[in-house]
Amino acid sequence: MNEKRVKSADRVLDLLEYLSAVDRPVALHEVVRDLGFPKSSAHGLIGTLVDRGYVVRDDADRFQVVDAFREGFGWVGGFEARLKALGRPVLEDARARTGETVFLAVPNGQGDAKVICKAVSLHHIRYDVDHTAPSPGYATVMGRVLLAFDEPARVDAYFARTELRPHTGRALTSEAEIRAVLARIRAEGYGSIEEEYASGGCGIAAPVRDRSGRVVAVLDIATVSQRYAELRPLLLETVRDSAARLSRRLGHNPASEEG
């Protein structure tokens, strides 16, 4: 079996996934910005999809996938499968930019975070976590970002049933302290953690939003403590950019919220 990836095929699928997620016509420059394609390549791919009837062009020279394709395509595995497909190139780009491990997680329905996709650092000494174990909402940066943007009643219920036990000597175990962290995450739009969940591990995470503006996932870049201080500005810039890019691929338009 030939496992070699074909870049042009990847780009066609990326483009179809992107247009399927966006519920409005988009201009060529938006495709170039959000997917990172060269302008000439994006123009050629869209032209091909228009010619083949998968995409339509309006009078303002904007593009939108045809309704029949949007309604009939679907995703085996549901939203998580779609999120992983859209998120994988974003995670890999963030890893290439920082050299560190990048995680994508979703709420598990119990107030904790479930990792569904990751791009592991190529450093010999690196941070990694098991895919199968949930990341506690109160103790990890991924969990805290998801809790920070969850419904207040659900957060209250989470704290009412959860034992806040320390994972390291630097861990917060007071509900008031953790709620203060959640408020700061909401205000600043990202969260960070230093050796509170795992000794020697640090990370920065930002929320991922769908087209309605709802937080549906979290993107986290994690590293070892020895590299964290020097890398922090780059990690913060990258995690914000990457979460915003994935949000746009899910159809999120920040300008519509401001209006």
Domain boundaries, the chain: 7-73, 78-258
Beta carbons of 215 and 221 less than 8 angstroms apart? no
Query: What pLDDT does 146 receive?
Result: 98
Q: How many CA atoms lie within 13 A of 128 on its CB side?
A: 14
Give the integer Cα–Cα distance in Å for 204 and 209. Answer: 17
Average pLDDT by stretches of 10, the chain with 259 residues: 67 86 87 91 90 80 76 60 85 97 95 94 92 89 98 96 96 96 98 96 97 95 97 98 93 72
Helix H or strand E encompassing 153: helix 152-161
Query: What pLDDT does 145 receive?
Result: 98
* 180 Cα distance to chain centroid: 24
Domain 78-258 in the same topology as domain 7-73: no
Query: What pLDDT does 259 receive?
Result: 47
Q: What letter represents residue 71's amino acid?
A: E
Phi and psi at 114, nearest 5°, equal -115, 120
Strand ranges in the chain using DSSP code E only, listed in sequence order: 26-27, 55-57, 62-65, 101-107, 113-119, 191-194, 201-209, 215-224
Give the integer Cα–Cα distance in Å for 259 and 256. Answer: 5
Could you give the 3-state DSSP secondary structure of residue 107? Answer: strand
Q: Does domain 7-73 bear CATH number 1.10.10.10? A: yes
Q: What's this model's pTM, rounded to 2 decimal places?
A: 0.74
Residues in the chain: 259
Q: By C-alpha distance, which of 165, 110, 144, 125 is closest to 220?
A: 144
Q: Does domain 78-258 bear CATH number 3.30.200.20? A: no
